Amino acid sequence: MKKDYIVKVPPYRTLMSYIMPRRGDAAVFLEVEADVGRTLEFIRRFNETSTNKITIFYIFLYSIFKGLIRHPELNRYIRGKRVYQRSDITIAFSMKVEKTVDSPMREVKLRFDSDMSFDKFVDYVKNSID
């Protein structure tokens, strides 16, 4: 991954590294209610025609992926009071190894190509976690 230092950033972004010096300081907790009726219908239709069955998690993950493409300024980080732009799209998440209460967690970190269609995205994620 190539790290690109950003020279011109808004003053408030520079100030953020002093207000929130540790990574965990920037955590955001948000509660949102959303109508997912049409999304659930899309998932049902997709699963009828595809060999790869999806859940709403795939829609959520793909939304993050598309958001990072449309808004590359969200794909930045601060290190040593400098702001860097990531040159790739990487998403990390944790998941249960099995769908049981006692199953251990597994960390997954995936790097995506920015031109992936939804079908290719689903194939890539499925192959990576199976």
pLDDT tens-place string over residues 32-69 = 999 999 999 999 999 999 999 999 999 999 999 999 99
pLDDT tens digits for 91-121? 999 999 888 999 999 999 999 999 999 999 9
In this prediction, residues 68-90 reach a mean pLDDT of 88
Number of domains in the chain: 1
Position 3 confidence tier, pLDDT thresholds 50, 70, 90: low
CA distances from 103 to 13, 84, 96 (A): 40, 37, 6
SS3 content of the chain, % helix, strand, coil (to 5): 45, 20, 35
- The residue written with tokens 């929130």 in the block is 20
Q: Provide the residue range defining the domain that includes 99.
A: 3-129
Residue 125 burial (C-beta neighbours within 10 Å; 0-12, 13-18, 19+): buried
Identify the CATH number of the domain in which residue 29 sits.
3.30.559.10
pLDDT at 2: 52
